[in-house]
Chain A
Amino acid sequence: MSELTTIETAPIPFKERFYAFARKNIGLISVLISIGAVLLALIIGGILIASAGINPWEAIPYLFKGSFGNRYGFGETLTRFVPLLFSSLSFAIAHKSGFFNVGAEGQLLMGAVGGVLVGAYIEGLNPVLHVFLCLLAGVGFGALWAGIAGFLKIAMGSDELINTMMLNYVAILLVEYLIHDPLKPPDSYLYVSEAVLPSAKLPIILAKTPLHLGFIISLVVTAIVFYIVYRTPIGYQMRTVGANRKAAAYAGINIVGTTIAALVMTGGLAGIGGAIELMGTQQKIVPGFSAGYGYDGIGVAVMGRYHPIGIILSTLLFSVIRVGMGSMQRGAGVPFPLLNVIQGLIVIFVIASGFLTNKLTETVIGGRA
């Protein structure tokens, strides 16, 4: 049939054919635009490397060699993937619920504090139970920390954006105090916390690499979280509140209850990320424990367009860049903060290119074609 109609009508102009293609593949096109944004960010990164007098063609291979060129690097990339995934999930879930949580950094740190309290000070538990309790403590502490901003928003109408940001600085100082005194082992000369007991450590799942069980946990949690958001009544309510608070209230949705649920999830996700980073990778809280994972998560969520598959893929990309940058610093002397330059540019380009995608959608679907 279709061949017949083609023969009978006049040749379709290119523009029409392009629109027809775009209509079918709008998802693909937006992915391509995102990839373009990432490439642009990397090119500017390369220019910055060159402007430092380092040959980018010698430096860039380290990006790949270090992150998946060998067994250890591969394991390290997937290890970095874990806290990054949790903090981007945290940002994405909050975003979907209309709550701007830029406090994952602080919530992650507090989650780690919860993990130390349960993991280092409660003895004689069986490992499965101990790990489970530590994860629970991470969720609880992260959720409570986000809950401060949540309380201020629900009870006082105070803007959560500034509050979650301020709470990051407060958490960093609080943790600094804790590892200077109350949580410091009495015999230690370094400012670190007590290490978690062997029964609270997460086992390595890939020999001769740092990759631990937290990787599997992170994927399972992601699946559960998106099941809740897309397939349960509470998830539906969260998304409705996020899309239009007034309409949701008019439709009889309990705004306060839904916001609290979103808060527990967003803070809990960042917190469990901190607990897992503690139990799987670092064993104790050290200065600079979080390394900016909380802020990186914002970029990951934007790049992944708040979509589960998108987030997993962009987390992978950001972990490759993070591990690769470390290797580039060691191998070619490129200063590590270039990581944030590239991540910031990716956020800027991806969000700006959203304009292109919207325009295309408007033109193609909005009838102007």
Chain B
Amino acid sequence: MDASWMISIVTWLTMAIRLSIPLLFPSLGGLISQKAGVYNFGLEGMMLCGAYFGYFGSFKTGNPWIGLLMGAISGALLGLLLAFTSIHLRVSQLVIGLGIGIFSLGLTGYLFRLIGITAENPAAIQFSRINFGFLGKIPVLGEILFSHTWMVYAGFILVAIIAWIFYRTTWGLNFRAVGENPQVADTAGVNVILYRYLAVIVSGALASLGGAFLTLTQTAYFMENITAGRGWIAISAIVLGKFNPWGVALACLLFGAADAAQMQIQVMNLGIPYQFLLMIPYIMAMAAMVGFVGKVKAPAAMGKPYVKN
């Protein structure tokens, strides 16, 4: 294997990790919500708001942390809306999710065009990469593992935290009970409504962090529809990951690797029209659903509103 191939592979793996993150955050968000029994089909819209408000906060204040906070709040508020309408009003979780998507697409596009009119170079300050010192200088592994912004590591740490909460704490047990059998959970004294609200709001905040990752570490600019369907691919990653946090992380890495591969192939200029390469993540999301639906057990009460007797 000659050196240029080696470089390509290192770049590919580095990008794979990086590109899995904007899927990982919304997937974990969707997972938490689904574990508690509520479908979050608003992930795409929440990501868009996270991307825009993350960008906006950083652009206005020069501080990406404020952007991140604004992004997270915007997602949490949309989560609250989803929670209220689907848990309290018991409306169709699908339609409200689509409504949130359309609304967010419009709102972020509208606000961004207003900025575009007044600002000359509307670039936001981004998070910089962590300097790991000598670790970053290790050949091959140094670039693949130690060349990212903090959000990448936070994403994977979050996977461990969520897995721990779900499977090692009473809290997590309650969460899963609320999604599997709310009647029994209620009888056992678990506040079903509260757990569901919490899950959906956290879900919104996490999805928006995925969006903010795009503007605060990748592009520095907002673009209309910048998420390009990642919120929907994330739902497919949850299914592929068999509703398990570690599985979801692996699924996101796989999608990230595919996305990185198609970008690398574009650069190689092999004569394949770029449009076909860009289709790969979407087709993979469809393939993932085909291979695993039916073999995967979703939380039993998912999508069903809880009516207290």
Contacts and interface: CB of A to CB of B under 8 A. Distances in A.
B213 to A, nearest CB: 20
Interface in B267-308: 273, 275-276, 278-279, 282-283, 285-286, 289-290, 293-294
Interface residues of B, number: 47
Contacts of B286: 152, 158, 162-163, 166-167
Contacts, number: 142
B17 interface: no
A355 B89 contact: yes
Contacts of B90: 355
A161 B85 contact: no
A91 to B, nearest CB: 10
Given A169-B282, A174-B275, A348-B100, A341 B106 contact: yes
Interface of B: 41, 81, 85, 89-92, 94-96, 98-110, 113-114, 117, 224, 228-229, 232-233, 235-236, 239, 273, 275-276, 278-279, 282-283, 285-286, 289-290, 293-294
Contact of B103 (A173, A333, A340, A354): A340
A94 to B, nearest CB: 12
A165 interface: yes
Given A158-B289, A162-B235, A166-B285, A340 B105 contact: yes
B290 A177 contact: no
Interface stretch (A197-205, A232-240, A274-282, A295-303): A295-303
A162 B110 contact: no
A342 interface: yes
B105 A158 contact: no
30 contacts: A48-B107, A52-B114, A156-B293, A156-B294, A157-B293, A158-B290, A162-B232, A162-B289, A163-B289, A167-B282, A170-B282, A173-B278, A173-B279, A174-B275, A174-B279, A177-B275, A299-B99, A302-B99, A340-B110, A342-B106, A344-B99, A344-B100, A344-B103, A344-B105, A344-B107, A348-B103, A351-B91, A351-B92, A352-B96, A355-B91
B273 A337 contact: no
Given A295-B102, A338-B110, A341-B110, A173 B96 contact: no
A335 B110 contact: yes
Interface residues of A, number: 46
A176 B90 CA distance: 40
A48 B106 CA distance: 11
B118 to A, nearest CB: 10
A162 B85 CA distance: 22
B46 to A, nearest CB: 13
B282 A351 contact: no
Interface of B is mostly: helix
Nearest to B95: A351
Nearest to A347: B99
Contacts of A109: none
B144 to A, nearest CB: 29
Nearest to A100: B94
Contact of B85 (A156, A345, A351): A351
Nearest to B234: A162
Contact of A347 (B98, B109, B232): B98
Nearest to B285: A166
A89 to B, nearest CB: 17
A133 interface: no
A90 to B, nearest CB: 14
A180 interface: yes
Nearest to A344: B103
A344 to B, nearest CB: 3
Contacts of A157: 293-294
Contacts of B289: 152, 158-159, 162-163
